[in-house]
A and B are shown apart, each in its own frame.
Chain A
Amino acid sequence: MTRRDAAAVAKPALNSEWIVRKTLFVFAMTTVLGIILVIFFVARESIPALRQVGWSNIFLSATWNPNVSNPATGHYGLLVPLAGTLAATLGGIIIGGPLAIGTAIFLTQIAPPRTGKLVVRGIELLAGIPSVIFGWIGLVVLVPMLARVTNTQGYGILAASFILGIMIIPTVTTIAKDALETVPEEYKQASFGMGATRWQTIYKVILPSAKEGLLVALILGIGRAIGETMAVQLVIGNARQFPNSLTSVTSTLTSRIVTDMGESTGAFRSALFVQGLVLLIMAMVIILLIRLVTRKTVKAA
C-alpha cells in the first residue's frame, strides 16, 4: 500500500466520524430547540389575552363566555376547565392507579410465566390503542351505561375518570413493574425465611422497598391523564359549569381548547393558549416532582 492509499483510507474514516457526531448533536439540539420554541410560542400567544382581558379575569374567574365578534370583551376564566382537569385526573388515578399497581404486583410476584406474558401482551395492546378509540367506546358504551345507572345523561367527570383510569394503566403498570422488579431477591428470601406469607412479604417488604418507583409510576400516570384530550373531550360534556359531583358535566383544559379552537380569534384564541400554557406548567411540575422523588431514592441508596 502506498502512502497515498493509506491517507485515502484514513481520511474518510475521520470525516465520517465527524459527520456522525455532528449530525447526532444536531438531532439532539433539535429536540431542545423544539421544546424551547414551543414554550416561547405558547407564552407569546398567551400575552394578548392576559393584556386585554386581564390576569384576574382569566386565572381567578370561573366564567367562560367568549365573544366571537368582539373577542376582547368576552370572559375567559379558566377555573372551570382547571377544576375539570384536576377532578378527571384524580378520578382516573383513583380508578386506574390501584388497578395498574395491582397488575404490576401480580405480574412480578404471582403470575405464572405464561399468564404473565398474556397480561403483558394485553397491556402492550392497550398502550397501542389510539385515544380517540377510547373516547369512542366511552361515548357509545360507557356513557349510555352510566346514564342508565346514574339517571343522568352519562357524560361528565365519572365517565372521563373511567376512561382515563383505563388509559393510564399501561404507563403506570410498566413503570411500577420495573420498580418492583428492582427489589432485591434477598429481601423476599429474608421475609419468607422468617415465616412471612406471600401477602405479608408483598405488603410489608416489597411495596415499601419500591415505593419511590411506584410513586413515579403514579405521577407519570397523572401526567398522562392531564394531557389526554380526545378521549376526554368525547365524554366530559364540555359544559361551562364547575364539577360539583361525579356526574357533573364540565370541561377540561384540553377539551376546552379542542372544542373552541375552530371559531376563536384574537383574545379568545389567546385565552386558549393561556390554558395550553397552564398545561405546560403542569407538565413541568410533574417532571420536577419525579426528579425530587428519584433524587431521594438515589440518596437513600
Chain B
Amino acid sequence: MQTDVEGKSVAARPLATPEPQHGRYMISIRDLDLFYGDFKALEDINVDVEHNRITAFIGPSGCGKSSVLRSINRLNDLVKGARVEGQVFLDGEDIYGHGYDVVELRKRVGMVFQRPNPFPKSIYDNVAYGPRIFGVRDRAELDQVVEESLVRAALWDEVKGKLKQSAIALSGGQQQRLCIARVLAVEPEGILLDEPCAALDPIATQRIEDLLQELKKTYTIVIVTHNMQQAARLSDYTAFFMIENQGDPGRIVEFGPTNTIFTTPEDERTERYITGRFG
C-alpha cells in the first residue's frame, strides 16, 4: 500500500497503466520510445503528471530526463532525426496525433531551460514576447499581462522601476524568474523546467523553489533536476531514470510519490542512487 501526497492511501500504481486516466492527470506518457537517428535514447517511458502537483525527474546525467521533458511540448521536433513512438496525452488528447496543433500545445505547456535564456531585449519586451506573438497589440492589456506575470514570478518588486532596461543586466536568478514570467505570460496550464537551478547559487535556487511551491497552486509543474535534495524538498511525485549500460536507452526505474521514492523505494537501484552510492 502506498500513500499519495495528501496522505490518503492509494493502491500501488503499476508503472504502465494500460489506459490513461483523464481528469486527475494533466499529462500521461504511454510507452514512449525516443530515437535520435538510429540511437534509441528512451524506452518504455510511462509517467502520469497530476494536476497542480510538482513531478520531478531525477537520475544520472545522460539518462534522458530532459528528452522526456522536451517530448512533452514537442521541442524534440526541432532536433534533426528525432523520432517518437508511443503516446503523450495532454488532457486525454495525443499530442503526437495527426494534425495536433503544436503551437497551441507549447502555449499550454511552457518550457524553462537550464541556462536562463532571456532575449537580449528589455524586461518588458521579454515578458510581452508571448502575448505579442499571439496577437495582443493593446498597450494597456500588455502592461497588465507583463505586471501580472512578473508578480506571479516573484520578480515584480525587483524590476518594476526598470522594465525598459535590458534583461541581460539582471542577475542569473532574476533572469531565470524572468524566463518563468515569460512563460506565465501566455497563460499556460503546465510548466516544464529543465534543471532550472543548475546555473544558480543556493539563495537564487531557494527563491525559485519557493516560487514553484507557490505556482503549483495554479499550474502543473514538471521539473528535471540533478539535485536529489531539491526533488525531495520540492516535488510530490518523483520518477527515477537510469541507463543500465552505456549505449542503452534511458528507462524509468521507479515512479511514485516522492516520500515513497525517498524513504521506501521498491527498486534496489533507486535506493542505491538516492543514498548516493552511484550516479
Partner-B contacts on A (CB < 8 A): 184, 186-197, 200, 204-205, 208-209, 300-301
Contacts and interface: CB of A to CB of B under 8 A. Distances in A.
Max chain A Cβ within 10 angstroms of own Cβ: one of B110, B119, B168: B119
* A-side interface mostly: helix
Contact of B186 (A186, A192, A194, A300): A194
A199 to B, nearest CB: 10
A191 B179 CA distance: 11
A208 B75 contact: no
A300 B122 CA distance: 12
| Chain B facing A: main interface SS | helix
A208 B133 CA distance: 15
A193 B110 contact: yes
A29 B103 CA distance: 58
A187 B117 contact: yes
Contacts of B104: 195
B78 interface: yes
Contact of A196 (B105, B133, B168, B183): B133
Given A192-B106, A193-B110, A204-B129, A300 B166 contact: yes
Contacts of A208: 119-121
Given A187-B119, A195-B106, A195-B186, A204 B113 contact: no
Interface of B: 73, 75, 78, 102-107, 110-111, 113, 115, 117-121, 129-130, 132-134, 166, 168, 179, 182-183, 186
Contacts of A196: 103, 129-130, 133
Nearest to B134: A195
Given A190-B113, A193-B106, A205-B129, 16 more contacts: A184-B117, A189-B75, A189-B117, A190-B117, A190-B118, A192-B78, A194-B106, A194-B110, A194-B111, A194-B186, A195-B102, A195-B104, A195-B106, A208-B121, A209-B120, A301-B168
25 contacts: A186-B115, A186-B117, A189-B111, A190-B111, A190-B113, A190-B119, A190-B182, A191-B129, A193-B75, A193-B110, A193-B111, A193-B183, A194-B107, A194-B111, A195-B103, A195-B104, A195-B105, A195-B107, A195-B130, A204-B132, A205-B119, A208-B119, A209-B119, A209-B120, A300-B166
A300 B205 CA distance: 27
Given A194-B106, A195-B104, A195-B106, A300 B168 contact: yes
A195, A200, A209: most-surrounded residue (chain B CB, <10 A): A195
A62 B220 CA distance: 73
